[in-house]
């Protein structure tokens, strides 16, 4: 009889569904109505019992009566509840019509809670889901180690300093810095080395005319880069735009293509457009850094 069951499970002997905490006892039985371990809430110790459970979004009312206590397989009778909240409540009422008040009330409360959380689930699935991607430890370790080694191999400070010095040499900064002497010498040397570049004739003319400006020009004369090539194709008509573009472009993206720590083309890439421009309006060369 249920009283005997309760006197055993509730207090004295072991109940595997019972979980005790400091303040309260919980019942882990899946048919439990309230979740607490009480005399009135224990599905094992009550011969007439009912619960509401949901499965895959649909709520069912489960009922247990004394008549079926001998047939465990048919013990719990299941009734599908209506999707409509009020109609489901009425259904609960009519199914548990002469049942104790406690069970009826708790069933309805439980059903309310379940519908609320189902609504919440539906709302959340419409929002963005956070996808959890597991990290693989070995891979993480490997990546971290490779990153460290790459950092050491990169020698960032040296690379940045080298790049900045090159830009200084290539005169992207123009008149801001006054280290003229060495730049002149280097430019002279480079001028000798680059005598085979495309705009030969023009350069020779310039050489005769004015030494200073030409030196700056020579220093910037080097192989083509992608963007400036494109520039050459498209905007060959507007000189000023060209000039600004190429200066800033040099400044803003110097891609050292194929540069490795060991070797690398020392010269920046400049278009030949510049030289053509120099021919026409030489006095304005000094303003390019502005």
Partner 1 sequence: AMAENGGGAAERGGPPAPQRVLFPPTFSVSEIKNKQRRHFMFLRWKQQQRKEKLAAKKKRRKEREALGDKAPPKAVPKTIENQRVYDETTVDPNDEEVAFDEATDEFAPYFNRQTVPKILITTSDRPRGRTVRFCEQLATVIPNSHVYYRRGLALKRIIPQCIARDFTDLIVINEDRKIPNGLVLSHMPDGPTAHFRMSSVRLRKEIKRKGKEPTEHVPEVILNNFTTRLGHSVGRMFASLFPHDPQFTGRQVATFHNQRDYIFFRFHRYIFKSEKKVGIQELGPRFTLKLRSLQKGTFDSKFGEYEWIHKRREMDTSRRKFHL
In whole angstroms, the minimum distance from the beta carbon of 246 to partner 1 comes to: 11
190-228 as b/e: b if 16+ CB within 10 A: bbeeeeeeebeeebeebeeeeeebbbbbbbbbbeebebb
Burial (CB count <10 Å: 0-12, 13-18, 19+), residue 118 = middle
Which residue stretch of 72-80, 158-166, 195-203, 278-286 sits at the interface with partner 1 (rule: CB under 8 A)?
158-166
**Whole-angstrom Cα Rg for the chain:** 43
**Is 39 in contact with 10 (CB distance < 8 Å)?**
yes
Footprint on residues 220-239 left by partner 1 (CB under 8 A): 223-227, 229-230, 233-235
Query: Which residue, among 151, 50, 149, has the nearest Cα to 109 in the 3D structure?
Result: 50
78 binds partner 1 (CB under 8 A): no
198 binds partner 1 (CB under 8 A): no
Nearer to partner 1, 110 or 249 (CB): 249
3-state secondary structure of 137: helix
Compose the 259-278 pattern: x for residues touching partner 1 by CB under 8 A, - for all others: xxxx------x---------
- CA dist 242 and 63 (Å) reads 86
Both structure tokens of 98: 């002469």
Candidate list 78, 105, 120, 253; residue touching partner 1; CB under 8 A: 253
Query: Which residue, among 240, 238, 236, has the nearest Cα to 228 in the 3D structure?
Result: 236
Compose the 29-58 pattern: x for residues touching partner 1 by CB under 8 A, - for all others: ------------------------------
Phi, then psi, of 188 in degrees rounded to 5 = -60, -45
In whole angstroms, the minimum distance from the beta carbon of 143 to partner 1 comes to: 7
248 binds partner 1 (CB under 8 A): yes
Nearer to partner 1, 106 or 268 (CB): 268
- CA dist 203 and 237 (Å) reads 20
In whole angstroms, the minimum distance from the beta carbon of 13 to partner 1 comes to: 45
Which residue stretch of 25-33, 80-88, 191-199, 218-226 sits at the interface with partner 1 (rule: CB under 8 A)?
218-226
- CA dist 88 and 107 (Å) reads 11
**Is 95 in contact with 87 (CB distance < 8 Å)?**
no
In whole angstroms, the minimum distance from the beta carbon of 99 to partner 1 comes to: 44
Which residue stretch of 21-29, 74-82, 106-114, 161-169 sits at the interface with partner 1 (rule: CB under 8 A)?
161-169
Q: Which residues bind partner 1 (CB under 8 A)?
A: 127-128, 130, 139, 143-144, 146-147, 149-151, 153-154, 156-157, 159-161, 163-165, 167-169, 172-174, 176-177, 179, 182-183, 223-227, 229-230, 233-235, 241, 244-245, 248-249, 251-262, 269, 289
């Amino acid at each position: 009889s249920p009283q005997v069951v309760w006197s055993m499970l509730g207090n004295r002997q072991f109940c595997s569904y019972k979980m005790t905490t400091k303040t309260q006892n919980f019942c882990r039985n899946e048919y439990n109505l309230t979740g607490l371990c009480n005399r009135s809430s224990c599905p094992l110790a009550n011969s007439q019992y009912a619960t509401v459970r949901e499965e895959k979004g649909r709520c069912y009312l489960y009922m247990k009566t004394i008549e079926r206590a001998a047939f465990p397989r048919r013990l719990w009778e299941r009734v599908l509840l209506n999707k409509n909240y009020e109609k489901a409540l009425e259904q609960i009422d009519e199914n548990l019509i002469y049942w104790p008040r406690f069970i009826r009330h708790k069933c309805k409360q439980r059903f309310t809670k379940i519908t609320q959380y189902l609504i919440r689930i539906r709302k959340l699935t419409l929002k963005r889901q956070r996808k959890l991607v597991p990290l693989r430890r070995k891979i993480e370790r490997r990546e971290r180690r490779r990153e460290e080694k790459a950092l050491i191999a990169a020698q960032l400070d040296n690379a940045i300093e080298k790049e900045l010095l090159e830009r200084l040499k290539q005169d992207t900064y123009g008149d801001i810095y006054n280290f003229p002497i060495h730049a002149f010498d280097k430019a002279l040397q480079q001028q000798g080395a680059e005598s085979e570049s495309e705009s030969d004739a023009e350069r020779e003319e310039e050489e005769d005319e004015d030494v200073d400006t030409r030196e700056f020009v020579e220093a910037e004369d080097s192989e083509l880069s992608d963007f400036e090539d494109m520039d050459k194709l498209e905007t060959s008509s507007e000189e000023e735009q060209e000039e600004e573009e190429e200066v800033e472009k040099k400044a803003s993206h110097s891609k050292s293509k194929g540069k490795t720590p060991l070797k690398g083309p020392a010269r920046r890439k400049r278009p030949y457009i510049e030289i053509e421009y120099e021919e026409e309006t030489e006095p304005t060369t000094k303003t390019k850094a502005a």
